[in-house]
Amino acid sequence: MAELLPEGLNGVVHGRGAIVALTPVPAEEVDYGSPRQGSVELGRLGNVETGIWELRDGAVLDTEVDELFVVISGGATIKLLDEHRSVEVKTGDVMRLTAGTKTRWIVKDHIRKIYLALE
């Protein structure tokens, strides 16, 4: 996958308008609905992957990696299953997720985020 912001070059990506192709979420990750997701890689900062990720129309289950993200449009309810609590995120919010956290992402319309994740 080509990086939108390759190392060594100054550049800009309009995150809210970037094209993110969406595909159905694999059945084993779907909690309910017909969710679709997609991502595009922005580039790397050392050993940190950066990108734009979008999820639409449903709920999915995930096990997180170490990640910091900023919601740039939409919103979601993120159930932190191991902690028995929920967090609401919306445009402008910044959140940290720690590796191994089991989550349920509930999205009524869509969420689009810019993420920085350790691999």
Domains of the chain: 30-118 (2.60.120.10)
How far apart are the C-alpha atoms of 20 and 34, rounded to whole Å?
17
pLDDT in tens, 80-100: 999 999 999 999 999 999 999
- Residue 38 confidence (pLDDT) above 90: yes
Q: For residue 58, which of 21, 39, 76, 32 has the smallest C-alpha distance?
A: 32
How far apart are the C-alpha atoms of 24 and 36, rounded to whole Å?
4
